[in-house]
Chain A
Amino acid sequence: MSRLIEIITSSQPDIRNLSLDVVCRAASFRELIAECEELDRFRRHSDNLYERVRALFFLYAIHRFHIPLKSGSTGATVIPFSGYEALLKRRFEEALDIFLHAQASSGAGGALSSALAAGYRALGFQTLADQVRRSVRSVRGNQWMFRTGHPDDYPLRIRPELLDRGQSSLFPILHEATPVRMDLSHSGWSDIFFLGMDFPEGARVLNISIDLAVRGQGSGSPRPPVESYLRVIDEPVLRLTSVDLKCTADIRSIAEIFDFGRDYLGLLKAAAIASGLIPPGMEGASEPLSDVLRQLLGSPGRGIEIVSKVNDIPKGSRLAVSTNLLASLIAVCMRATGQIRTMEGGLDERDRRLVAARAILGEWIGGSGGGWQDSGGVWPGIKLIQGEIAAEGDPEFGISRGCLLPRHRVLPAEEVSQETREKLQNSLVLVHGGMAQDVGPILEMVTERYLLRSETEWRGRLQAIRILDEVLGQLRAGDVRLIGDCTMRNFEGPIQTIIPWAANHYTETLIRAARAEMGSEFWGFWMLGGMAGGGMGFLFDPHRKASAQGRLGEIMSETKRRLESAVPFAMEPVVYDFAINERGTHAEFRRGESALMPVDYYLVVAPPLLRTEMRLLPPTRRAELDRFSAACRRNPEFAGAVENLFDRLLPQSREDEGGAAQNLDALLDRHGFDRAGHEEIQANLRAGRLGLAQNRLPVNVTIRDVAPGDVVDARHPLNGSHKSIGADAIASGAVAVVSLAGGVGSRWTKGAGVVKALNPFARLGGRHRNFIEVHLAKSRRVSSEYGVDLPHIVTTSYLTHEATESYLRMEQNYGYPGPVYLSPGKSIGLRMIPMERDLRFAWEEMAHQILDDQAEKMRESVQAALIGWVKQMGEGGNYTDNLPMQCLHPVGHWYEIPNLLRNGLLARLLAERPRLKHLMVHNIDTAGVDVDPRILGLHIDSGAAMTTEVVERFLEDRGGGLARIDGRLRLVEGLALPGEEIESSLSYYNSNTMWIDISQLLAMFGLTRADLADASKVRSAVRSVASRMPTYITLKDVKKRWGKGQEDVFPVAQFEKLWGDMTALPELKCAYVAVSRLRGQQLKEPAQLDGWLRDGSAAYVESLCLW
């Protein structure tokens, strides 16, 4: 039997927990391919979930991390487009068959392995997700909801108490208040579903229910942060209101409830569905919602109103606010329909488990996801939650080792004393650091590493398990200082061993500052939830807590100000006051005068009612207003409500907006905005002369892959003289480096608008470093090797210039001894509202990843809303409805080289260094590129004006490549390819690293070195070449932030010109050289980082750097 299959199927822990890496390291290329064949056969036939999934992840890891490093690969092969397409459509099995067939016929290699790795990984996660869904559906108490498809089948009835309005004209209100949860230790993210289902013994969490108040806001005393309200109303609608998101809607059709993206009420809708109020089986039913409501409420003409409220807790708190809100809403709906027997007070264990199971279902329905501990707020106090081995009778029995739902044990006061609880409260400072984060990828990494049992990470997991026992011991012993010691060790040790990305530069800066200020009175850092930077805890000696709260707030704000152009922040940091909640979720029945909604509810619903003539309002709406006005007079909680309402009613002052517009105009003027050019592009866009479809080359153009001899392969040893030619040139001062850093990397921070070049993206050489620092460290090494001062130029734009300049000044060029120049951008664009045509083209005509069913529904509904937005805003209009900086865009990297001519930097360099002949131009995110004498030698030897480095195309390399277009060898952008399948037939991808011969380039512009002093001649030379370059329209996602850490993402249109198109000019002599991926790969998305770290790329970069 194969060694790997033995590891998967063994029941002995020492074999079962063997690391894949150990086995693969020793194996040859051929042996690995043979293992893969066996594993693939095995996973197709095994009916055990765990075995199948582990085999899939083994296959992924072998293809991703091992095969590309072994010699024996057949080199460049092309990834079949049909397989790529099947991957996008989530037909993973089909995709894998296509790739395996290609491998059998053309041999294994890096490109095909990249495709196979992606396919196996995606299938692995899909198998896991499907199993979680099946398990959620099969939980007893959930199954009926999937059978109920028609109002006539509807089996729920409202509790009669909720229909009894007594003397009042309004119905009573059921109110649920729910704490959130924080976790003291999650044993290395052991609350992910798969870990609980496969390794229940190791899946343990210490979880505490807490009340919160944001320091310096509101009344100040902590209370349950999450509240939900339910009542019967006199209209046959489902009225949903989110008080925090200031959004309300009357839902009249079943389809609307299942439409999650159209408004901000997705969570309330998911709760209505998961609670069975509108069962999930009704999706697609065409009957009116009123039919369901009539069954529920016993008579026609009535409906239900549900209101949610989160008391000022910002998004990303790592306290599972949204899951607990979902659980709270589900609990109130289940109480109202008798599914939970107690209408008031707390819940018993059976009902809590049911609510937790429904919350998991709700998260799946709403397309979000969390861990199994997240609904911990439903339970009271401090509890140990742990995985449970599936026994006969459990739906999971025979499928997975553990159950979907863990077991909760609430720690009684005898075990953790009241005094200890108070000590913990008095020592812990809870904060939200303000960083915007996406924990999703971290949870995937955890699953992946658990399955692969990588040696160090597995040791980390075992250590995390021991730390939880230590924390538990200290809780019993009542020693909070030692708890701080444990959580600190946990963060510095196992957490970062398992997932290095859980820590970041910001958090480490805060910890250093806390330690520096508080010394031994700082007891430890505590990472809350999935990663650091958002919600976090700091433990201090209790007598310093008050001052620590104040100081920590200041430190966070200062650090944020310093880092905000480099690190994505969603909001201003906050400090919380908190208290342990000892009763869990709790309900209260409010009738008569006390049946009031929260104050802010009235501020949302009253303005439109007040604008309606009184006689036109239904009596209950009038009664609602009466009750509100009475409360304003008598109820102290409603103090100030009238003033707030007044503010909402009167038209808002336009001063702010006016200020923003002025600011935008000033920015445009300052950065040389070409209004005439913009209007021309806008007119062309509106007229359909420019657009996504128009980006493409005509279909009658012939596009072929490169021919033998077109590309020099520098992955293999080159002619020895190249190296010496290059070395001589470097030593003689003929080379300068140009790092292109004008962009913000919209994919890197999903449109958050921070400077990518300054983002401390990874820990290298012992600490977090940003891209500029890494590039300078490589230049430092080359300078020292060749005894020169290599000039290093960083191009900037309006978006990046100030921040880059101030960072370099603050960090003194990161100690780089040679000259560092900034080349400020001279061009700027104003973003535009996209054309509906282009949005539809992007969504419907261009290949895109199909998401899983639920997420896909969400996406369709968001897209419908975006079309509405475009129409409302005016297609092709200027995009100005955001912060001024978010309305501008850089106009593509074509301009970055001409900018060197226009801003005088090249003239200055040439004057200072007359021997300068060549520029190595590279993207900021090509971390592995350096001034390599062999490639420089090749470039000089070829006599080319420009030599471009290309890499073998892997699956993720989309965006054009090297091709013969109508016979001419040139770079082509992905945007310009008439069909997406063509890209897959191109063997090489453009790394965008170019070696440029300065004299030949100037000649192409019709300039001499002397002409560089003549600004108008340079300007007209640049304009004349620019006019020969195509203008591409692209769609970019831009974030608009609002409320407390909320973000909306809008697609906006912008134009760009790209440098690769220079290779189409017949007078420019171009050469191409294939380099290794280690050198040529670009880091476009943070999700790539983990693989980059694990496949040796990071180590390679470190080997090039001299810190």
Chain B
Amino acid sequence: MKMSRIRKWATTGTPFIWVNAGAVAISLIMVVGLLVVLAVNGMSHFWPTDVMRGTYTPPNIGTNNSTTEFFGELVQSEEVSTEQLRDTGFELTDTDTTYQRQLIKFGNRDLIGSDFGWVVTEFVTDVDYPAEMSVLERRSWGNFYGFLDSVLERGNEVVSRQAGTDDTLWQEFHDRLLRVDALYQDIDQLERREIAQVNYQVERLRLQQRRLEIDGRDTAQALASIARERDALELQFIEHQAALNTLYNQVNRDSAVFIAANEQSVEIPLGEIVRAYRPNQLGFAGKLTVYFSRLSEFLSSEPREANTEGGIFPAIFGTVVMVLLMSIFVTPFGVVAAIYLREYAKQGLATRMIRIAVNNLAGVPSIVYGVFGLGFFIYIVGGEIDRTFYAEALPAPTFGTPGLLWASLTLALLTVPVVIVATEEGLARIPRSLREGSLALGATKFETIVKVIFPIASPAMMTGLILAIARAAGEVAPLMLVGVVKLAPALPVNGIYPYIHLDQKFMHLGYHIYDVGFQSPNVDAARPLVFATALLLVVVIALLNVSAAALRNRLREKYKALDV
């Protein structure tokens, strides 16, 4: 290669162009890479992994070389230096090699204390994947790995490994699991609907009585009527409680004995088990079934074990309700403000400044809105509402505490600049000729706006609203101050009067990610779930943004046609 060629390459500025192109390439790779990381980690969470059995003999300092059997799923493997291993207590003789170690999910937290552990591959022997290895997802203590030994009914053996074939044993176990599942649905219905209803009514009566006392209308007659109602409710409650006890008794009928690692036999009540499968003998189709079953549980059920297992339905629901409520607040106000600014206000320095200010408010940190929501909405407005309308519940605050209403209002305030800016942009793009045409035909200004401007600008408003929703759905910092909690036992919208509980705290996808990923005691176990939640959130927001972009493009095409 000639030097002159290189010099020419340098002087034309080509390298600079390529460096700039490189910046684009890096940015693109970063975005796509991030999405891939999210997708891979988030989607793989539901795939049933094969469970291995192995024998581990680490050469530990101090202890005799102990041999243990272990069951578990391989999570990841990495190279470590000999040095590092020595630091953690390994007695290694050879010097400058690296070892491979594997992170294994051992499960059985109730037996061995922790779900996860590292093993050095070198010292693992006799690895196999027994077909009868079963995985139990439990209501508490995380996963269990082991072999099904026998099925018991009220402590008496029904089938055992010795007695029947393996398949009949599993079939029996599976049938009984289905029965328990059905019972649990009844329990759920009873606990979450009937009993919740009774509790709610008892609380309402208490408030009613307090109200009467405050107003000085607590006549003996009124109090007696309340007491009568309360007695009736208590009777109902006792009935429900009895029914519940019967159900639980039925659930507790069955149990199964499993053999965990190191020949440890464990009796597990079937009521503890959410799902059971044997991954090592499942084919692709079978695994796919488990995959979708777990995925649907993730999307539609309640969280378990301090949010680290189970589903995120309340978080999805809370996010949706909050965003909908916010849209109800933000749309009319944003649109009205934009119409005022563009159509009614006198265009001049003042409107220009207001426009800049509104534009800049979109750039004010969201936490500032959160602080405002907490200080103004909750402590001042909410406190006043409580004193005026909910005095009977005091000192327990009703609206003077973070809740759904304040969260939606705060986010509405946060996103109203987005709607204003987008709507204004849409209004500004409408050719003057249209307005003038309408006015020339004798329409009033209001009629022009409603019948001419509004339909044309509606896609712009929709764009603004969608962008606002996308921003609101992903915003977490202000919500932490104004209403989101890690676990809300009741949904903000349910079958109990008044159906929408504006004062209730709720769960939120974004906060769920923060909470489970950073505040949970068992981050290793929770990580895959957080990835899945993050993926879901990103997908939802990406869809919203894509639809906003599509709408905007349609809008532009429309104007192109008008702009003649």
**Does A pair with B?**
no
Chain A interface (Cβ within 8 Å of chain B)? none
Chain B interface (Cβ within 8 Å of chain A)? none
